[in-house]
């Protein structure tokens, strides 16, 4: 079996003396979408912050392609090839779409032609942004801002992206557009760790998944396994996976 691109080994993390994650072990295979499911308070946000270097580990280790990430700064982790798309479709609202993409290229040793090629490549996935390059990001819809946030990560040509709650605050039709884009990215060879609360739609696009409950891994497996897992239903307070999906955020 090939080594996973991203591997978390028995990590603990939290805030000061408050422990949130407990003995979490996960692997993300290269070129796959791996989902992390769980309700609010399950530890998903803490997990993304620990992986991206925003909070330190109190135990365990995180590696990307065999290279240790824990203990490094967020900038260093991004330089190693892992881009973090923060929840809430956060972009620089007062800046233009073009400027947002250029911010994604900050400190990249590229000439003007190469920068333009990087922008064009990222926009192939989101053609609706191509006609808005000179518009300020704050004038975009919530869904378009989420697309821009992902495109801003893509211009760096990362080995993998960590996408935190991309569906947050979006209408169902827009969620479908964003999820379809994630599938297209996977098909292009980009590895994705997708942290979400929407169950069924996430399982439809994921290759593998984990369920967090109380800061611990409660279940893991391929989507078909997770759909019938009692741990998934318990994680969503007795709701079925389909019921959880129907309410978007159970």
Q: Could you read off the pLDDT of 3-31 as tens digits, one per residue? A: 899 999 999 999 988 999 999 999 999 99
Q: How confident is the model at residue 50 (pLDDT cuts 50, 70, 90)?
A: very high
Distance between CA atoms of residues 153 and 122, nearest Å: 9
* Amino acid 27: pLDDT: 97
Residue 237's CB is within 10 A of a number of other CB atoms, namely: 9
Lowest-pLDDT range of 7-11, 143-147, 223-227, 232-236: 232-236
Where are the domains positioned within the chain? Answer: 6-88+156-246
DSSP assignment of 184-198: HHHHTT-EEEEEES-
Comparing 70-74, 137-141, 193-197, 235-239, the range with the smallest average pLDDT is 235-239
Lowest mean pLDDT among 12-16, 31-35, 241-245: 241-245
Percent of the chain with pLDDT over 70: 91
The contacts of residue 148 (CB under 8 Å, 6+ apart) are: 89, 91, 97, 100, 101, 126, 129, 137, 140
Q: For position 250, what pLDDT does the model report?
A: 37
Any idea what DSSP says for residue 3?
P
- Tokens encoding 241: 């996976």
Res 245 pLDDT > 80:
no
Best-predicted range by mean pLDDT (90-104, 113-127, 131-145, 236-250): 131-145
pLDDT of 124 reads 87
74-101 pLDDT tens trace: 999 998 999 999 876 678 888 999 888 8
| pLDDT at site 54 | 95
> Is there a contact between 22 and 12 (Cβ–Cβ < 8 Å)?
yes
Q: Which CATH class is domain 6-88+156-246?
A: alpha beta
Which has more pLDDT, 235 or 219?
A: 219
Model pTM score: 0.88
Taking CA 195 as the corner, what is the angle to CA 190 and CA 196, rounded to the nearest 5 degrees? Answer: 125
């Amino acid at each position: 079996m090939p080594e996973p691109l991203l591997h978390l080994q028995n990590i603990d993390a939290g805030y000061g003396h408050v422990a949130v994650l407990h003995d979490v072990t996960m692997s993300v295979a290269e070129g796959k979408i791996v989902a992390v499911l769980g309700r609010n308070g399950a530890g998903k946000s803490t997990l993304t912050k620990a992986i991206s270097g925003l909070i330190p580990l109190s135990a365990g280790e995180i590696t990307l392609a065999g290279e240790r990430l824990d203990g490094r700064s967020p900038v260093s982790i991004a330089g190693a090839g892992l881009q973090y798309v923060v929840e809430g479709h956060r972009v620089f609202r007062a800046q233009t779409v073009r400027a947002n993409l250029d911010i994604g290229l900050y400190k990249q040793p590229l000439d003007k032609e190469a920068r333009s090629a990087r922008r064009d490549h990222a926009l192939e996935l989101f053609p609706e942004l191509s006609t808005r390059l000179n518009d300020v990001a704050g004038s975009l819809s919530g869904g378009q801002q989420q697309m821009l946030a992902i495109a801003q990560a893509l211009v760096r040509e990362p080995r993998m992206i960590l996408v935190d709650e991309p569906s947050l605050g979006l209408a169902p039709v827009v969620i479908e557009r964003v999820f379809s884009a994630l599938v297209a990215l996977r098909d292009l060879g980009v590895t994705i760790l997708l942290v979400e609360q929407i169950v069924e739609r996430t399982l439809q696009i994921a290759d593998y998944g984990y369920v967090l409950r109380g800061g611990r891994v409660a279940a893991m497996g391929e989507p078909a396994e997770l759909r019938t897992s009692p741990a998934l239903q318990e994680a969503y307070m007795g709701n079925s996976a389909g019921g959880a999906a129907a309410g978007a955020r159970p």
